[in-house]
Structure 1
Amino acid sequence: MKYGKFAAVYDGLMEDIPYDKYVEWVASHVPSGKLLDVACGTGGLSQLFAEMGYDVTASDLSEDMLTVANQRFQEANQSIPVLQLSMDNLEGLSGFDIVTIAIDSLNYLQDEQQVQQTFKEAYKALNSGGHFFFDVHSIVKVDEVYMASPFVYDAEEIAYIWHTEPGEAEHSVIHDMTFFVQHNELFERFEETHEQRTFSVDVYTKWLEAAGFSVESVTADFSDQVPDKESERIFFHAKKA
């Protein structure tokens, strides 16, 4: 999907996401190597991985997101290749030790076959013994937590009103967001609609194994804990044989 003007405000809205914990999670299992950051967004996580010494390649479908990512990398004097690719079509990429799909990016795939194809693409991109890390929204987050909208965010230069409603598919959500972004003394208003869908841990596990992965761990909420009925974000670590 295209994020449009959302790319320009994305970093401010994501400032509470503990990207450093994501890097620590990956590094605790694979401390170095060639890493493909799929659905990299504006490149914040890619940058941290590069600072840790990983050989990083970043990809995303959104041209707007990649424009911001490229600027970030240039300002940091980082040589990170950037590719405009869909996560379910990585066009023959191979030779990676690590593939990441971070911060619920996988949930933007609405079709079951797309998710399964994405797992196959990650598998093909990895070297033998390579590692696949990703996280998704839990079912309770999509079906219950998100349904407590509207949510309101009001910062100095950005504000938004965020409404949600159930999507057509099971365990899916439609996010309707109205943003107000300050430019000099005026605020610009724009709207974004995003759709996400999730599946159960058992379903993700089945699809990973069908793609050829062994599931090394399933944890929750940036911790080492096993998911429970209250968990909101589920983390998967899988390995290619």
Structure 2
Amino acid sequence: MEAYSDFAYVYDIFMDNTPYEKWGGFVLDRLRRAGIEDGILLDLGCGTGNMTELLADAGYDMIGVDLSEEMLNVAMEKRACSGHEILYLAQDMREFELYGTVRAVVCFCDSLNYLLEEEELAQCFRLVNNYLDPGGLFIFDFNTVYKYETVIGDATIAENRDNCSFIWENFYDSEDQINEYDLTIFVEEDQKEGLYRRFTETHYQRGYRLDQIRRLLEESGLVFVEALDADTMQEVTEKSERVFCIASEHGKCGTGEAK
């Protein structure tokens, strides 16, 4: 499971087209439908804290967990600006630990796709179920096999911004359903001299199908509730690229500490 390092500090620049407001609106709608209007939420794989800050703005007490300390450093800079009392923890989503249960867990920006084995995903789901309040919700997204295999495939993507640029070389192994992308990033360090710093990172993700996700949720003790195409907000199809999914806690009776 690859952690973001140097890329963390330019992550938000290159992710400026990510519809966090739309995704956050979806999360808030489903939380309020379930009567979860306040309390503690966990943002799992929180990255630079964009969704964490959005939910804190809505009045929730937030915990953010991420494996990358560099990403968390950026998130904590945002916290210093916003004044929100967000607790950030540098932990692996396959073995995270909390002090008690939470009302809901959210996990976005294909963080779960970094878990490359079904058992890793199942272990994460078991922990989510363990740390949810009775009837709590797990709201997350994932990229599909179709997206990696057909839409991205073996492609090369390049983008420029005012003072940085990147080259994304993508490779997809259809047999193992593993997506590898090699990032080469150039960041301006001296404008007068026209000097740029170059660094590279390699990331691996696995595409999943909705039937796999549903099975693993149920095997982990969670109850599958709903799935939607993240782009159309309609029923998931064979050509859905990103899926929003909701599951609920199962197995606890009454409030209390995690098992």
TM range, smaller chain = over 0.9
Q: Distance in 2 between matches of 1:233 and 1:116?
A: 19
Alignment match, 1:11: 12
TM-aligned CA deviation for residue 166 of structure 1? 2.0
Q: Distance in 1 between matches of 2:238 and 2:3?
A: 33
Alignment match, 1:212: 221
TM-aligned CA deviation for residue 106 of structure 1? 0.4
How large is the Cα RMSD of the aligned pairs?
1.4
SS at match of 2:153: helix
Instruction: Select which of 207, 210, 224 maps to 2:233.
Output: 224
Matches within 5 A, 1:1-241: 1-31=2-32, 32-33=37-38, 34-167=40-173, 170-185=176-191, 186-241=195-250
The one-character-per-residue Cα deviations of 1:57-107 (angstroms, maximum 9, x if unpaired) are 111011111111111101111110111111111225432111011110000
Identity of aligned residues (%): 32
Query: Does the 8 Å contact 1:96/1:125 carry over to 2?
Result: yes
TM-aligned CA deviation for residue 222 of structure 1? 4.0
Tell me which amino acid in the other structure corresponds to 2:166: Y
SS at match of 1:30: helix
Query: Does the 8 Å contact 1:219/1:225 carry over to 2?
Result: yes
Segments of structure 2 that go 5 or more residues without pairing to the other structure are: 251-259
TM-aligned CA deviation for residue 45 of structure 1? 0.9
Q: Is the deviation greater in 89-98 or in 110-119?
A: 89-98
The one-character-per-residue Cα deviations of 1:159-218 (angstroms, maximum 9, x if unpaired) are 111111124862211001111111232211111100000221101100101112221111
Q: Distance in 2 between matches of 1:127 and 1:223?
A: 30
Tell me which amino acid in the other structure corresponds to 1:232: E
TM-aligned CA deviation for residue 142 of structure 1? 1.0
Segments of structure 1 that go 5 or more residues without pairing to the other structure are: none
Query: Does the 8 Å contact 1:151/1:162 carry over to 2?
Result: yes
Aligned residue-pair number: 241
Tell me which amino acid in the other structure corresponds to 2:163: E
Q: Distance in 2 between matches of 1:168 and 1:226?
A: 25
SS at match of 2:196: strand
Larger radius of gyration, structure 1 or 2?
2
